[in-house]
Amino acid sequence: MGILRRLFGRKHAPLLEVANAQDSSSGKSGPASPSFYTSTATIVVYDLESLRHRLDDDVDWWADPEAEIDEINRRNVLIVGLGFDGFYDLDIVEEDIGAQSYSLRFPSGKIFIGPGEALTGGGDEPDESCGGLFLNLPAGDYKVGINGSEDRLRVSIVPAAPFDNAIMESIRL
Protein backbone atom coordinates (compact mmCIF):
# COMPACT_ATOMS: atom_id res chain seq x y z
CA MET A 1 0.00 0.00 0.00
CA GLY A 2 2.94 2.34 0.58
CA ILE A 3 3.80 2.34 -3.14
CA LEU A 4 0.20 3.14 -4.09
CA ARG A 5 0.17 5.99 -1.62
CA ARG A 6 3.42 7.36 -3.06
CA LEU A 7 1.98 7.14 -6.58
CA PHE A 8 -1.48 8.50 -5.82
CA GLY A 9 -0.82 10.61 -2.73
CA ARG A 10 -2.93 11.01 0.38
CA LYS A 11 -6.20 10.60 -1.47
CA HIS A 12 -5.46 6.90 -2.10
CA ALA A 13 -8.00 4.83 -0.17
CA PRO A 14 -6.64 1.43 0.78
CA LEU A 15 -8.40 -1.58 -0.73
CA LEU A 16 -8.26 -3.36 2.60
CA GLU A 17 -8.68 -1.54 5.86
CA VAL A 18 -6.49 -3.17 8.47
CA ALA A 19 -7.53 -2.27 12.00
CA ASN A 20 -4.41 -2.87 14.05
CA ALA A 21 -1.59 -3.20 11.56
CA GLN A 22 0.81 -4.75 14.01
CA ASP A 23 1.93 -7.55 11.72
CA SER A 24 3.48 -7.23 8.32
CA SER A 25 3.09 -9.56 5.40
CA SER A 26 5.14 -7.29 3.17
CA GLY A 27 8.37 -9.15 3.82
CA LYS A 28 9.93 -6.18 5.62
CA SER A 29 11.62 -6.85 8.92
CA GLY A 30 10.24 -5.28 12.08
CA PRO A 31 6.66 -4.45 13.05
CA ALA A 32 4.45 -2.40 10.74
CA SER A 33 3.26 0.99 11.90
CA PRO A 34 -0.40 1.13 12.87
CA SER A 35 -2.37 3.14 10.36
CA PHE A 36 -5.86 4.30 9.47
CA TYR A 37 -7.83 5.93 6.69
CA THR A 38 -9.98 8.99 7.40
CA SER A 39 -12.63 10.50 5.16
CA THR A 40 -13.22 13.34 7.66
CA ALA A 41 -9.60 14.57 7.82
CA THR A 42 -9.71 13.97 11.57
CA ILE A 43 -7.93 11.89 14.20
CA VAL A 44 -9.45 11.14 17.61
CA VAL A 45 -8.00 9.81 20.86
CA TYR A 46 -10.28 8.71 23.69
CA ASP A 47 -11.23 6.07 26.21
CA LEU A 48 -14.42 4.33 25.06
CA GLU A 49 -15.95 4.78 28.52
CA SER A 50 -15.46 8.59 28.32
CA LEU A 51 -17.92 8.93 25.43
CA ARG A 52 -20.39 6.19 26.33
CA HIS A 53 -22.92 8.96 27.09
CA ARG A 54 -22.79 9.86 23.35
CA LEU A 55 -23.70 6.35 22.16
CA ASP A 56 -27.33 7.24 21.32
CA ASP A 57 -26.56 10.73 19.95
CA ASP A 58 -26.47 11.42 16.21
CA VAL A 59 -23.53 9.77 14.50
CA ASP A 60 -22.07 13.19 13.66
CA TRP A 61 -22.72 14.91 17.01
CA TRP A 62 -19.11 16.09 17.00
CA ALA A 63 -19.63 18.12 13.79
CA ASP A 64 -21.24 20.74 16.06
CA PRO A 65 -18.26 22.85 17.22
CA GLU A 66 -19.91 23.52 20.60
CA ALA A 67 -20.31 19.80 21.33
CA GLU A 68 -16.77 19.06 20.10
CA ILE A 69 -15.19 21.79 22.24
CA ASP A 70 -17.30 20.83 25.27
CA GLU A 71 -16.15 17.19 25.14
CA ILE A 72 -12.49 18.21 24.69
CA ASN A 73 -12.72 20.65 27.61
CA ARG A 74 -14.39 17.96 29.76
CA ARG A 75 -11.28 15.83 29.01
CA ASN A 76 -13.35 13.11 27.32
CA VAL A 77 -11.79 13.14 23.84
CA LEU A 78 -9.11 14.75 21.70
CA ILE A 79 -10.36 15.61 18.19
CA VAL A 80 -7.73 17.03 15.83
CA GLY A 81 -8.31 18.24 12.26
CA LEU A 82 -5.62 16.98 9.89
CA GLY A 83 -6.30 19.15 6.85
CA PHE A 84 -6.63 16.25 4.40
CA ASP A 85 -8.61 13.05 4.05
CA GLY A 86 -6.38 10.06 3.52
CA PHE A 87 -4.25 7.30 4.86
CA TYR A 88 -2.07 8.06 7.93
CA ASP A 89 0.63 6.05 9.68
CA LEU A 90 0.88 6.35 13.47
CA ASP A 91 3.83 6.42 15.82
CA ILE A 92 2.70 6.10 19.43
CA VAL A 93 5.27 7.28 21.98
CA GLU A 94 5.41 7.67 25.75
CA GLU A 95 7.42 10.88 25.78
CA ASP A 96 6.95 14.59 25.17
CA ILE A 97 7.11 15.33 21.43
CA GLY A 98 7.06 19.12 21.64
CA ALA A 99 3.43 19.36 20.53
CA GLN A 100 0.59 21.20 22.26
CA SER A 101 -0.67 18.79 24.92
CA TYR A 102 -4.18 18.18 26.14
CA SER A 103 -5.44 16.50 29.30
CA LEU A 104 -7.56 13.37 28.90
CA ARG A 105 -9.11 11.04 31.41
CA PHE A 106 -8.99 7.32 30.65
CA PRO A 107 -11.45 5.75 33.13
CA SER A 108 -11.36 2.21 31.68
CA GLY A 109 -7.96 2.18 29.96
CA LYS A 110 -9.42 0.97 26.62
CA ILE A 111 -8.16 3.71 24.29
CA PHE A 112 -9.08 4.25 20.64
CA ILE A 113 -6.85 6.23 18.27
CA GLY A 114 -8.21 6.55 14.76
CA PRO A 115 -10.47 8.33 12.29
CA GLY A 116 -13.06 10.82 13.50
CA GLU A 117 -15.84 9.09 11.63
CA ALA A 118 -15.45 6.13 14.04
CA LEU A 119 -16.32 8.23 17.13
CA THR A 120 -18.96 6.83 19.47
CA GLY A 121 -22.42 7.87 18.31
CA GLY A 122 -25.38 6.71 16.26
CA GLY A 123 -25.61 3.56 18.38
CA ASP A 124 -22.06 2.46 17.49
CA GLU A 125 -18.61 2.47 19.04
CA PRO A 126 -15.38 1.86 17.17
CA ASP A 127 -14.18 -1.69 16.77
CA GLU A 128 -11.36 -3.38 14.87
CA SER A 129 -13.28 -3.10 11.57
CA CYS A 130 -13.11 0.71 11.43
CA GLY A 131 -9.35 1.11 11.27
CA GLY A 132 -7.29 2.84 13.89
CA LEU A 133 -5.65 1.37 16.93
CA PHE A 134 -6.79 0.17 20.34
CA LEU A 135 -4.49 0.46 23.34
CA ASN A 136 -4.93 -0.97 26.80
CA LEU A 137 -3.44 1.44 29.33
CA PRO A 138 -3.78 1.76 33.09
CA ALA A 139 -6.87 3.82 33.91
CA GLY A 140 -6.00 7.38 34.92
CA ASP A 141 -5.17 10.86 33.68
CA TYR A 142 -2.90 11.47 30.69
CA LYS A 143 -1.29 14.26 28.72
CA VAL A 144 -1.78 13.68 24.97
CA GLY A 145 -0.14 15.50 22.09
CA ILE A 146 -0.19 15.01 18.31
CA ASN A 147 2.12 16.32 15.64
CA GLY A 148 3.22 15.11 12.26
CA SER A 149 4.04 15.81 8.69
CA GLU A 150 2.74 14.45 5.41
CA ASP A 151 0.96 11.19 6.18
CA ARG A 152 2.78 10.22 9.41
CA LEU A 153 1.44 11.29 12.81
CA ARG A 154 3.17 11.07 16.20
CA VAL A 155 0.89 10.64 19.18
CA SER A 156 2.35 11.16 22.65
CA ILE A 157 0.53 9.61 25.61
CA VAL A 158 2.08 10.27 29.02
CA PRO A 159 0.56 9.76 32.49
CA ALA A 160 0.08 13.22 34.08
CA ALA A 161 -1.90 15.13 36.65
CA PRO A 162 -5.16 16.48 35.17
CA PHE A 163 -5.24 20.05 33.90
CA ASP A 164 -7.77 22.29 32.13
CA ASN A 165 -7.85 22.16 28.34
CA ALA A 166 -9.92 25.38 28.08
CA ILE A 167 -9.93 25.48 24.27
CA MET A 168 -12.09 28.05 22.50
CA GLU A 169 -12.01 26.63 18.95
CA SER A 170 -11.45 23.35 17.14
CA ILE A 171 -7.94 21.92 17.16
CA ARG A 172 -6.03 21.67 13.86
CA LEU A 173 -2.57 20.42 12.98
CATH code assigned at 148 = 2.60.34.30
- Mean pLDDT score across all residues of the chain: 85
The pLDDT value given to residue 67? 97
Number of domains in the chain: 1
Whether 130 is covered by a domain: the verdict is yes
Which pLDDT value is given to residue 17? 31
In a domain, 172, yes or no: no
The per-residue pLDDT for 143 is 97
Residue 102 resides in a domain? yes
Predicted pLDDT at 18: 32
For residue 79, the enclosing domain spans 18-24+31-167
Residue 8 lies in a domain: no
pLDDT higher than threshold 80 for residue 151: yes
Rounded to whole angstroms, the Cα distance separating 152 from 170 reads: 21
Per-residue pLDDT at 11 exceeds 60: no
Residue among 32, 37, 33 nearest 8 (CA): 37
Judge contact between 134 and 151, C-beta under 8 A.
Answer: no
What is the model's pLDDT at position 131? 87
User: What pLDDT, in 10s, does the model give residues 14-62?
Assistant: 332 333 433 333 333 344 579 999 999 999 999 999 999 999 999 999 9
Question: Residue 101: inside a domain, yes or no?
Answer: yes
Nearest to 12 by CA among 27, 1, 24: 1
CA distance linking residue 114 with residue 11, whole number of Å:
17
Residue 2, domain member (yes or no): no
> 145 has which bridge partners?
101, 156
145 falls within a domain: yes
Residue 76 contacts residue 105 (beta carbons within 8 Å): yes
